[in-house]
Structure 1
Amino acid sequence: MRRICFTLKVRPECLAEYRVRHAAVWPEMQDALRETGWANYSLFLREDGLLVGYLECEDFAASQAGMKKHPVNARWQAEMGPLFETLEGGPDDSMKPLDEVFHLA
């Protein structure tokens, strides 16, 4: 499994809404993530809007491509997109993995 970490930026005025929506992620969205290989997926949100995501998968590009094909993902991204700053396309398109420079096994 490959470890993936990425950052995005939530608009400061949308922090509360972002938290509310992620307290109740749709079951079909969670199923789609699992079906496309996303495992051990976590999101961490700082008070200034910095969002750090972490997940494990075999092939991140394949997992992202699988999610793009899911109709539930299109609905989720349409609802979540306006909550973010500076996106390249939608939120999914802006998830650029960070280089891992250290891992304590």
Structure 2
Amino acid sequence: MARYMFIMECKEGSEEEYKRRHQSVHSELLKALKEVGISNYSIFMDGTKLYAYMEVDDYHRAMKELERNPANRKWQEFMSDILAMDEKGDPKMYLIDQEVFHLK
């Protein structure tokens, strides 16, 4: 299983709301994440910076499948008012996929 990290950002002043919303992630979304093969998914926060880690065999395939999933689209819309967005209106996200060390 491959490991991936990505960095996102929430809007300044929305940090507590971001945490609150993640206390009750919809069960349909959790199911969708698992169905595309995502596991061990964690998000860490430092100020407005969000550092996410996940394990998935094929990150790009999983993301394409999630783009078509109604539960994921609903969640993305729900979060859009508190996430920093790029010029296309998508959440700003920087993927880090080059692992240089792993302690087993």
Q: TM-score by structure 2 length?
A: 0.89
Q: Gaps spanning 5+ residues in structure 1: where?
A: none
- Measure, in 1, the Cα distance between the counterparts of 2:9 and 2:93: 10
What aligned pairs does 1:56-67 form with structure 2 within 5 A after superposition? 56-67=55-66
- Measure, in 2, the Cα distance between the counterparts of 1:95 and 1:69: 21
- What does residue 23 of structure 1 align with? 23
Over 4 Å off, 4+ runs: none
Paired amino acid for 1:10: C
What aligned pairs does 1:1-105 form with structure 2 within 5 A after superposition? 1-46=1-46, 48-87=47-86, 89-91=89-91, 94-105=93-104
Superposed CA RMSD in Å reads 1.6
Report which of the two has the higher share of helix.
1
Paired amino acid for 1:34: K
Paired amino acid for 1:73: N
Q: TM-score by structure 1 length?
A: 0.88
- Measure, in 2, the Cα distance between the counterparts of 1:16 and 1:70: 27
- Measure, in 2, the Cα distance between the counterparts of 1:89 and 1:95: 15
- Measure, in 2, the Cα distance between the counterparts of 1:83 and 1:9: 9
- Measure, in 1, the Cα distance between the counterparts of 2:33 and 2:94: 15
Q: Gaps spanning 5+ residues in structure 2: where?
A: none
Report which of the two has the higher share of strand.
2
What is the percent sequence identity of the aligned residues? Answer: 32
1:95 Cα deviation after fit = 4.8
